[in-house]
Amino acid sequence: MTSPGPLALAPAMADALARWLEIEAATRDRSAHTITAYRADLLAFLGFLSGHHGEAATPKSLASLRQADMRAFAASERARGLGARSLARRQSAVRSFLRWLSDREGFDLSAALASRSPKYARSLPRPLSPDQAQDALDMVAVGHDTPWVSARDVAVMTLLWGCGLRISEALRLDGRDWPFREALVIAGKGGKERHVPVLPVAHEAVAEYLRLCPWRQALDQPLFRGVRGGRLGQDAIASALRRARAALGLPPSATPHALRHSFATHLLAAGGDLRTIQELLGHASLSTTQVYTGVDDAHLMAVYRAAHPRR
């Protein structure tokens, strides 16, 4: 799939787009990554309209959008090779922007927005079993010639599996975050903070890494360091787990992020409450947690029937 070239927006349209993105970031707690994706989605749409109608799109011209225009855009994106999932997300961003713009400008786009997004099969994450996760950590512990590097990798992975951190969250920790208290305050997507309990095994793993680490810890320096002393990158952890995966015969889905999946799924299997797990993971939506843990509707109904006072 090739990307379109730079798009020159009409001033009024550029202003409207910038304003909408500001509102999404400020009031909907969107992450910087999401805002970047939304901007790309809207630029693709507005670029299509410019070519489709032969002139640059403006807020005024969008008032005459028809459902046929929306369908033509979807067909164009599919022809460029965009998958159903990506197209559904792109159309969702476009609809959100158009609803906001129509409210601001005072026109009705309900007919144009009536077209449906493509259906796609949502791929469920594949968590590791408790034995597989433990075997992977044991293999990582002996997987490097330098003991402190192995201890570092184990410490990071223990935070993913034992605390449900995203790998980016674990690697953002600084010296000022140590020693850990009973709970870590983690700034997740969109800057939303959550409190994550720290298991003793995670505390011990990090302590062992710091005992062996040749780099002096400082408040303003990264907690997890690369071999040259800078902040550790995600690729090093992915490589360590990839080597362990090959040695143990684990599937390709056994990635660092799968350890976070495993944290949630193992908690749920042990009787954890789905809402609590949502809070620990930092998900905005309970439906995301449901998919994340692989829990199905039958399980939710079983919990409902067992817990509801009118059962």
Lowest mean pLDDT among 67-76, 82-91, 166-175, 216-225: 82-91
If asked whether residues 250 and 149 sit together in one domain, one would say yes
Annotated catalytic residue 260: yes
If asked whether residues 135 and 242 sit together in one domain, one would say yes
Active-site residue, from 166, 225, 245, 261? 166
If asked whether residues 22 and 142 sit together in one domain, one would say no
Q: Indicate the pLDDT class of residue 193, thresholds 50, 70 and 90.
A: confident
- The Cα–Cα gap between 295 and 48 comes to 39
pLDDT at residue 278, rounded to an integer: 60
Q: Is the pLDDT of residue 178 over 80?
A: yes
If asked whether residues 84 and 158 sit together in one domain, one would say no
Q: Is the pLDDT of residue 210 over 90?
A: yes
* Domain tally, the chain: 2
Q: State the average pLDDT over residues 265-273.
A: 63
If asked whether residues 89 and 159 sit together in one domain, one would say no
CATH at 254: 1.10.443.10
- Please report whether residue 106 resides in a domain: yes
Q: Is the pLDDT of residue 3 over 50?
A: no
Annotated catalytic residue 245: no
Q: What three-state secondary structure class fits 272?
A: coil
Active-site residue, from 257, 299, 310, 311? 257
pLDDT top residue among 289 and 57 = 57
If asked whether residues 108 and 134 sit together in one domain, one would say no
Active-site residue, from 89, 90, 245, 283? 283
End-to-end CA distance of the chain: 53
If asked whether residues 256 and 141 sit together in one domain, one would say yes
pLDDT top residue among 197 and 281 = 197
Range of the domain at 87: 11-114
Active-site residue, from 189, 231, 242, 243? 189
Percent of the chain with pLDDT over 70: 78
pLDDT at residue 195, rounded to an integer: 83
Active-site residue, from 89, 260, 261, 266? 260
- Please report whether residue 109 resides in a domain: yes
Annotated catalytic residue 194: no
Q: Is the pLDDT of residue 153 over 90?
A: yes
Which of 64, 82, 114 is the C-terminal boundary of a domain? 114
- Please report whether residue 281 resides in a domain: no
DSSP E strand stretches across 56-167: none
Cα dihedral 100, 103, 107, 113 sign? positive
pLDDT at residue 293, rounded to an integer: 53
Q: Is the pLDDT of residue 61 over 80?
A: yes
If asked whether residues 94 and 180 sit together in one domain, one would say no
Active-site residue, from 38, 194, 266, 292? 292
Tell me what the pLDDT averaged over the chain comes to.
82
If asked whether residues 81 and 166 sit together in one domain, one would say no
Residues 160 and 167 sit within 8 Å (Cβ to Cβ): yes
- Please report whether residue 221 resides in a domain: yes
Reported pTM: 0.58
DSSP string across 239-266: HHHHHHHHHHT--TT--HHHHHHHHHHH
Q: Indicate the pLDDT class of residue 6, thresholds 50, 70 and 90.
A: very low
pLDDT at residue 296, rounded to an integer: 46
pLDDT top residue among 139 and 28 = 139
**Any idea how long the chain is?**
311
pLDDT at residue 203, rounded to an integer: 93
Q: Is the pLDDT of residue 311 over 60?
A: no
If asked whether residues 155 and 101 sit together in one domain, one would say no
Q: Indicate the pLDDT class of residue 198, thresholds 50, 70 and 90.
A: confident
- Please report whether residue 265 resides in a domain: no
If asked whether residues 48 and 169 sit together in one domain, one would say no
Percent of the chain with pLDDT over 90: 40
Q: Indicate the pLDDT class of residue 186, thresholds 50, 70 and 90.
A: confident
pLDDT at residue 299, rounded to an integer: 54
Annotated catalytic residue 283: yes
* HSE (side-chain half, CA atoms, 13 Å) at 236: 20
If asked whether residues 199 and 141 sit together in one domain, one would say yes
- Please report whether residue 204 resides in a domain: yes
Annotated catalytic residue 166: yes
pLDDT at residue 2, rounded to an integer: 40
